[in-house]
A and B are shown apart, each in its own frame.
Chain A
Amino acid sequence: MSVAASETAKPPADPKGKKKGLNLPPWAEKGLIPGVILLIAVLLPLIPAIGDKANLMQQMAVALAYVVMALGLNIIVGFAGLLDLGYVAFFAFGAFAVGWFASGHFAYVNNQEGLHILVGGNTVNLPGIHINFLLVIVVAMILCAIAGVIIGLPTLRLRGDYIAIVTLAFGEIIHRSAVNLDSVTIGETPITAGRQGISPVDRIDLPFLDPFTVLDKKPWYWFALFLVVVVLFVNFRLRDSRMGRAWIALREDEVAAVAMGVPAVKTKLLAYASGAAFGGVAGAFLASLLNTVNADQFQFFFSILVLAMVILGGLGSIWGVVIGAIVLSIINNYLIPDVINSVPGKLGLDFDMTQVTFAIYGFLLLLMMILRPQGLLPERRRAMELTEHADTTDDTLYTARA
């Protein structure tokens, strides 16, 4: 297996090299640290103590999927300043893209023989719709982008808190629909499987590689790392693009931005669409990794978890968000269930630490907002706004990277 593993290690390494080559003068220094981190991340599973623990590798892959999701939300909340409390909706659409188009859910399609597009191996004989995972990701992105535009439309005239509420309502509607639509059928199959979940779903099967297996999580991890690198690259390019600057202008002062000729409608909708598309990618990956599309995954809490990652890292700061996502994944998947779960018992208190996960996040949000509202690794522009009002001149704002 290790031969196959080292082959899969190559794709993530390529974009890094490209990135360094493209922007040599400013990136030669800045690219070095990310490059080294990436190299470590790629080689990490080759250490037997880490790579052989399927559970640990799974959690690391989940953490990377959260990074992708947080980077997507960062576009909406961090860049464009549209507080989205219903981000879980895009996770849901991404996951359902897998549930609908890469599983045996619609078993009656094509006289129970199934519909197969570019899939190989045993999948060819299964009933249901089975589409190659890379195409499913594209489908998920399109679905989510459309959903993002739909959620964006009613919020166009609104600002601030109202946007938060509308997006929250949208997320809850999607959650409710996922739970309840198991009673509504298309043909002979219910639209969703409600709380039971659509399971199993197809595993990722990339061209030229062996299909991913349940037992060996290393390929999943590398694939997630590949996704992170691509999404990071796209995020940096988006941020520095004309569109990215328009987002930040809208965030800073909508009236002024519109007066300067920034098309508010198009810009906001594009922020929703692109942020949602990343959520869809992560959702599709998570659905395939967790091997289920379950309505209970799409709760309001999840939106807050992703938002907490963005805020912890620093709104609008790409590297900050990556760190925030990783830190919170560790807290969520490792620290709370495994380490501090036994603390109340030792103190003679009678409750389960996993019960109060919500409160821990609530407390974290509270503390962050009061003590360090700019996040762990703040975006320079926002840090200046929040702390050093006196030093904010046109000159420093101009040189600050967005």
Chain B
Amino acid sequence: MEAASIPAGTPASERIKQWIGTYGLVIVLLIMPVAFAIQDLSDQGNLVRLGENIVTGLSNGAIWALVAIGYTLVYGIVELINFAHGEIFMIGSFISASFIATIGLTVDSSFLPVALGLLLTLPIAMIGSGSLNVLIERVAYRPLRGAPKLAPLITAVGMSFILQNVGLLWKGGNQQGVPDLLEAQTTLVTIFGVTIEHADVLSIGVTIPLLLVMTTFINRSRLGKAMRATAQDPEAARLMGINVDTTISLTFLIGGMLAGAAGLIYAMYQTTIWFFQGFTGGLIAFTAAVMGGIGNLRGAVLGGLIIGCIQQMSDNRIGSEWTPAIVFSYLILIMVFKPSGLLGEQTRDAG
């Protein structure tokens, strides 16, 4: 702030700052893969282990990308970190697991019923999570529109706690198994020694069509246009005859639906669910959204994939008990080097 008040050309310190701002984050992100690549090459002479980390990381990251989009959409339109979004994702998992149990799918079911059942579960999880998100917006956030910014954020934290306890009462405090319908860990193909499993195909296969549908919706449809207009300037959008309240509800609906889909994939992928997955998962996804540049859809996807890889490498090599700490350290590093994220514009809050 002091430096900004002396506009005398671009001194060396300022240029170094700019350089760090542009490349610092990329370098920080490359530290882990490069270090592990060197380690692999010297230990085994090939990069199979790193390759497997990255494949698993990408498919894992697809889940975080879906959740991260919810954060980014909501932040883009109402400038609120929807803390309860991670819990929406958790509830999506729970709805999926309960529905699968209700229609009686088990590990022994043959391919056709499993495929049909999952095709049926997906919209149910999406609608359930989406409408919950809309309800939360209506009850908890809308009354506070126009209040100081601290107020809705604190409400979001409160909402997140309430939903966590709903999950706790619903499925109990322990991790619950979900039938491994897709034999998630079974190898499908092996390319250059890197195995690709059913779970990887599932998560990529569901995520990409969803993303395509959603981007088309936002870019092409009238409602999507209204969303973009509201994100740019709510007041002006209202003057142009856009129903801002409906648009905001719609944003929460889309974000919640994607989180619900992510919940189903997560349940199929990890084959365990528990009430606390939303808290950690939500923070990881939020980190992804910030890394990509909050408010930017492509950024959220990119961030999700990167965070997935970081998480997987850390799980595999450092120990999964350290993974949250490592992801959060990355979050802080991003804030230090480039608060606007990889693809993001400068926002009002992160200068």
Interface residues of A (CB under 8 A from B): 81, 83, 85, 153-155, 157-162, 164-166, 168-170, 172-173, 176-177, 179-180, 258, 264-265, 300, 304, 307, 311, 315, 351, 355-356, 358-359, 361-366, 369-370, 373, 385-386
Q: Are the C-beta atoms of A359 and B144 separated by less than 8 Å? A: no
Q: Taking the complex as formed, is B143 at the interface, i.e. its CB lies under 8 A from any CB of chain A?
A: yes
Rounded to whole angstroms, the CA-CA distance of A162 and B144 in the bound complex is 19
Residues of A within 8 A of B232 (CB): none
Residues of A within 8 A of B173 (CB): 355
Chain B facing A: main interface SS: helix
- Supposing A351-B169, A355-B168, A362-B159 touch, asked if A162 and B150 sit within 8 A by C-beta, the answer is no
Q: Are the C-beta atoms of B322 and A180 separated by less than 8 Å? A: yes
Rounded to whole angstroms, the CA-CA distance of A169 and B322 in the bound complex is 13
Q: Are the C-beta atoms of B325 and A161 separated by less than 8 Å? A: no
Q: Which residue of A lies closest to B75 (CB)?
A: A161
Q: Taking the complex as formed, is B38 at the interface, i.e. its CB lies under 8 A from any CB of chain A?
A: no
- Supposing A154-B332, A176-B322, A176-B324 touch, asked if A162 and B339 sit within 8 A by C-beta, the answer is yes
What 7 A-B pairs have minimum CB-CB distances, sorted nearest first? A362-B161, A365-B158, A359-B165, A169-B328, A176-B325, A362-B158, A362-B162
- Supposing A157-B339, A258-B1 touch, asked if A172 and B328 sit within 8 A by C-beta, the answer is yes
Residues of A within 8 A of B157 (CB): 85, 304, 307, 362, 365
Rounded to whole angstroms, the CA-CA distance of A81 and B153 in the bound complex is 13
- Supposing A365-B155, A369-B158, A373-B147 touch, asked if A161 and B81 sit within 8 A by C-beta, the answer is yes
Query: On chain B, which size bracket covers the interface?
Result: 35 or more
Q: A158-B350, A160-B149, A386-B148 are in contact. List 18 more A-B contacts (CB 8 A).
A: A81-B150, A153-B336, A160-B150, A161-B149, A162-B335, A162-B349, A164-B153, A169-B332, A172-B328, A176-B322, A265-B1, A358-B161, A359-B162, A362-B165, A365-B155, A369-B155, A370-B155, A373-B151
Q: Are the C-beta atoms of B161 and A359 separated by less than 8 Å? A: yes
Q: Are the C-beta atoms of A369 and B166 separated by less than 8 Å? A: no
Residues of B within 8 A of A370 (CB): 140, 143-144, 155
Q: Are the C-beta atoms of A307 and B154 separated by less than 8 Å? A: yes
Q: Are the C-beta atoms of A158 and B150 separated by less than 8 Å? A: no
Chain A facing B: main interface SS: helix
- Supposing A158-B350, A363-B158, A373-B151 touch, asked if A176 and B321 sit within 8 A by C-beta, the answer is yes
Rounded to whole angstroms, the CA-CA distance of A196 and B307 in the bound complex is 32
Q: Taking the complex as formed, is B302 at the interface, i.e. its CB lies under 8 A from any CB of chain A?
A: no
Q: Taking the complex as formed, is B279 at the interface, i.e. its CB lies under 8 A from any CB of chain A?
A: yes
Min C-beta distance of B172 to chain A, whole Å: 10
Residues of A within 8 A of B175 (CB): none
Residues of A within 8 A of B149 (CB): 160-161
Contact with A along B153-184 (1 / 0, CB 8 A): 11101111110111011000100000000000
Q: Are the C-beta atoms of B154 and A169 separated by less than 8 Å? A: no
Q: Are the C-beta atoms of B151 and A369 separated by less than 8 Å? A: yes
Min C-beta distance of B160 to chain A, whole Å: 7
Rounded to whole angstroms, the CA-CA distance of A263 and B349 in the bound complex is 19
Residues of B within 8 A of A166 (CB): 331-332, 335
- Supposing A162-B350, A172-B328 touch, asked if A359 and B166 sit within 8 A by C-beta, the answer is yes
Q: Are the C-beta atoms of B335 and A356 separated by less than 8 Å? A: no
